[in-house]
Structure 1
């Protein structure tokens, strides 16, 4: 994995400025990230489901450098049940799971850190309708618990159905904001208006 430094900007969480230079810094701050490409950027495909779920918390579960496998097993078993991950056993490789179960496996890993902020890049790409519904359920439950979810999606229906606030980017620039609580209704038409740079004025 190639690690690059940030180009510019500052990150604040609950009014506190964060210094994030490594993935470990983000995890320590309670920030999780589910990438768009779960196979190349997210999962350890040759590793077991158990290890994929627990890998972000191995350090905190270890004592004197020795992994507490009892804690790992409890975490993994609970995650499989809570997220309805369908697998024959916890030793099955991530590679051998369906796309939807792979995605839920990745979500389970990041939820193990008890995030305050969860970034989801195309969270339902390449999954079936059943897995998509499960992922939406998990997202809704997290939001109800106070977890801030930042979702990037190319599916307009998903954006409209799952978002409280939408920021539209075009060519790397913020070009529009929609927020129902501010009287700016979130609709597919308005999102496309900002995304395509349409010149006509839309009613709020």
Structure 2
């Protein structure tokens, strides 16, 4: 692995997550595991600028990002493949070409006119590279399979030369064959020096793909496991823990039960 491309320090959103700190280096996949409701998606959206936060910092390649500023995050080289592929990642009634060109639309515009030929050439190249199965670049993305839709969501960030890619449940709802293709794509990204932060509720997926696993519990990072120590039992023990570090530990005589998920 190379230098830290993404550095998060003390990220806090009151009542949602607290004191989140981690790095993601060039050439590595960092998995973010935890139970539903642990705050994983909320952290990802805050890093990307989609949601506000109350304290902490996000640096990309040593440059500090403004809070709650998606264009700044995109310009710095962060991409987010959201958990809700259809609702947040795609314009379903637009074509494959139009969806692939969403992130690069501004850079492809001169004097108010979009370079459609250039957009089409780039979209065709990336669709072929990712193996998107379609009748043509003009096919509505709504009519693609889930796996091919996900390739389009990822492809638009690759066209923008994104250096840090956040993947939130990247293989949810897609078939086994498409999952393998997504895994191969992630490996190709890290091999070429990209950094990947991957959130997944599929524990075998997290363990199989990650160089390091961060485990969240109750809005905090409960622990970090290197790949060689990350087992399902070790991850689950941290995920259900109520002993994530607190600023003010409760007195020992207070009963503290696990929070429901």
Query: Paired residue for 1:189?
Result: 233
Query: In the TM superposition, what is the alpha-carbon distance from 1:18 to its structure 2 partner?
Result: 1.8
Displacement of 1:16: 2.5
Match of 2:162 in 1: 115
Larger strand proportion of the pair? 2
Q: CA deviation at 1:157?
A: 0.4
Aligned counterpart for 1:63 among listed residues 106, 110, 113: 110
Q: Give the 5 Å matches for 1:62-101.
A: 62-101=109-148
Hey, which of these two has a bigger chunk of helix by percent?
1
Cα deviation per residue 1:31-81 (whole Å; 9 max; x = unaligned)? 000000101111000111100001110111111111111110111111111
Match of 2:81 among 34, 37, 59: 34
Q: Which 5+ residue runs of structure 2 have no aligned equivalent?
A: 1-49, 244-261
Give the number of equivalent residue pairs: 194
Choose which of 142, 153, 156 in structure 1 pairs with 2:200.
153
Tell me if the contact between 1:168 and 1:176 (Cα under 8 Å) persists in the aligned partners: yes
* Unmatched 5+ stretches in structure 1: 200-204
Distance 2:171 2:51 in 1: 27
Task: Say which is worse superposed, 32-41 or 89-98, in terms of deviation.
Answer: 89-98
Displacement of 1:93: 1.0
Instruction: Choose between structure 1 and 2 for higher RCO, CA contacts under 8 A separated by at least 6 residues.
Output: 2
SS at the partner of 1:60?
Answer: coil
Pair 1:168 & 2:212 matched: no
- Tell me, yes or no, if the aligned pair for 1:76 and 1:90 is still in contact at 8 Å: yes
Q: Deviations over 1:80-131 (max 9, x none)?
A: 1100000111111111111011000100011111111000000000001111
CA contact under 8 A between 1:100 and 1:132: conserved in structure 2? yes
| Matched-pair contact (CA < 8 Å) for 1:54–1:76 | yes
Given the two structures, how large is their TM-score scaled by the length of structure 2?
0.71
Corresponding residue for residue 190 of structure 2: 143
2:229 counterpart SS class: coil
Contact residue 92 and residue 140 of structure 2 kept, 8 A: yes
Contact 1:20 1:26 survives alignment (8 Å): no
